Amino acid sequence: MFFKKLRKDIAAAKRNDPAARSSLEIWLTYSGVRALIWHRRAAVLYRMHLKLLARMASQWAKFRTGIEIHPAAKIAAGVFIDHGAGVVIGETAEVEEGVVIYQGVTLGGTGKERGKRHPTVKRNAVIACGAKVLGGFTVGEGARIGAGAVVLKEVPPYATVVGVPGRVVRIRGERTQDLLPEREDPLLKEVCALRERVFALEEQLNDLCARTDGRTGGESEDL
Q: What are phi and psi of 170, to 5 degrees?
A: -150, 150
Q: Are residues 165 and 189 in the same domain?
A: no
pLDDT at 176: 57
Check whether residue 160 and residue 216 sit in a common domain: no
Full-model pTM: 0.72
| Whole-number pLDDT of residue 222 | 52
- Residue 81: exposure state from Cβ atoms within 10 A (0-12, 13-18, ≥19): buried
- pLDDT, tens digit (0-9, with 9 covering 90-100), for 189-199: 777 788 888 88
172 and 190 inside one domain: no
Per-residue pLDDT tens for 84-107?
889 999 989 999 999 999 999 999
What is the band of 75 on the pLDDT scale with cuts at 50, 70, 90?
A: very high
b/e 22-32 (16+ beta carbons within 10 angstroms → b): eeeebbeebbb
Domain co-membership, 48 together with 151? yes
Instruction: Using alpha carbons only, give the angle 133, 96, 18 rounded to the nearest 5 degrees.
Output: 90
Read off the pLDDT of each residue in 109-128 and give the average, rounded to a whole number. 87
In this structure, the answer to whether residues 165 and 214 fall within a common structural domain is no
| Statement to judge: residues 220 and 163 lie in one domain | no
Mean pLDDT of 143-166: 89
**Count of the separate structural domains present in the chain:** 2
State whether 70 and 168 are in the same domain. yes
* 72 and 134 both lie in a single domain: yes
E strand or H helix at 132, and its extent? strand 132-134
Q: State the Cα–Cα distance between residues 117 and 160, nearest whole angstrom.
A: 22
Question: Does the pLDDT value for residue 214 go beyond 60?
Answer: yes
If asked whether residues 172 and 189 sit together in one domain, one would say no
What dihedral angle (degrees, nearest 10) is formed by the CA atoms of 199, 204, 207, 211? -160
Residues 203 and 131 in one domain: no
User: Which residue range(s) make up the domain with 200?
Assistant: 185-223
pLDDT band at 112 (very low <50, low <70, confident <90, very high): confident
Burial class of residue 218 (count of CB atoms within 10 Å of its CB; 0-12, 13-18, 19+): exposed
Average pLDDT over residues 60-83: 91
Residue type present at position 195: R
The enclosing domain of 52 has a CATH number of 2.160.10.10
Check whether residue 192 and residue 168 sit in a common domain.
Answer: no
Whether residue 194 sits in one domain with residue 160: no
Q: Residues 6-31: pLDDT tens digits?
A: 888 888 888 888 888 888 988 888 88
